[in-house]
Amino acid sequence: MPDAIFAHPRLAAVYDTFDGDRGDLDAYLDIVADLGAHRILDFGCGTGSLTARLPAGCDVTGYDPAAASLDIARTKSGTVDWRDTLTGLSGFDLVLMTGNVAQVFLTDDDWAHTLHTIHDLLRPGGHLVFETRRPEYRAWDEWAQRRPETRHVPGIGPVEQHFTLTEVHLPLVSFRYRYTFPDGETLTSDSTLRFRDRYDLDAGLTAAGFRITDVRQAPDRPAQQRVFLCEKP
């Protein structure tokens, strides 16, 4: 089940404002060009910040189980095939998982199932590209220092965001967002991410039938995050 920040209509509506400038997405457009991908699936597309920016002329599908996020995404592009199910899909040149998407699968079984599902969605020679945080850099220590902030959300007004690190029990890290709206309503969303080390990542990808072709530094936090380029032979 998606976290409330993606699934609740009022929280999905403020997500982009607090997510801020997404200049880091340019690096994924470069990867699309490098791979010559035409048929692309953005797996866990959220509000579609990347999906809607993928090159014109590509056959693009945006998948997310959170209907509220897809409602926002649909306002960004009428040419993307927005879906909340993977039923009937196959033959992709490229599957993308950006941001925290690859880390929301908390158990080994869930991660293995996801990788096998994506493997089946790709054509032979197709690629999976995903981003993940390096656990040795302990991103949660920085998160614990975050202070409340208020931003003006178009059509809504000033909204306050409060972040709380709720539990660190490696490899799992949990946190809570609390949002206060101009009318006084307060909504919360709880999330947990799994921080996988390189050994676990390599083993899982190999078991799912992928070959790692490149590992790059992520564009927004180069030292702390990695982007894996994996091929289905």
The DSSP call for residue 33 is H
Helices 67-74 and 9-19 sit at what angle, rounded to 10 degrees? 60
The amino acid sitting at 94 is L
Helices 198-207 and 108-121 sit at what angle, rounded to 10 degrees? 50
Phi/psi for 28 (5° steps) reads -75, -30
Strands 92-97, 39-43: pairing kind: parallel
Which tokens belong to 93?
């040149």
Write out 100-130 in H/E/C secondary structure: CHHHCCCCHHHHHHHHHHHHHHEEEEEEEEE
Q: Are 202 and 189 in contact (CB under 8 A)?
A: no
Residue 220: the pLDDT is: 66
Residue 90: the pLDDT is: 97
Q: Is 21 exposed, middle or buried (0-12, 13-18, 19+ CB in 10 A)?
A: exposed
Residue 222: the pLDDT is: 63
Cβ neighbours of residue 34 under 8 Å, at least 6 residues apart?
A: none
Residue 20: the pLDDT is: 81
Cβ neighbours of residue 39 under 8 Å, at least 6 residues apart?
A: 58, 59, 91, 92, 93, 94, 123
Which tokens belong to 127?
């690629």
Mean pLDDT by 10 residues, the chain (233 residues): 88 94 87 96 97 95 97 96 97 96 97 98 98 94 96 97 98 98 97 97 98 88 85 97
Please tell me the distance from the alpha carbon of residue 124 to that of residue 227, in angstroms, as a whole number: 21
Cβ neighbours of residue 212 under 8 Å, at least 6 residues apart?
A: 202, 205, 228, 229, 230
The amino acid sitting at 194 is R
Entry pTM: 0.95
Residue 21: the pLDDT is: 80
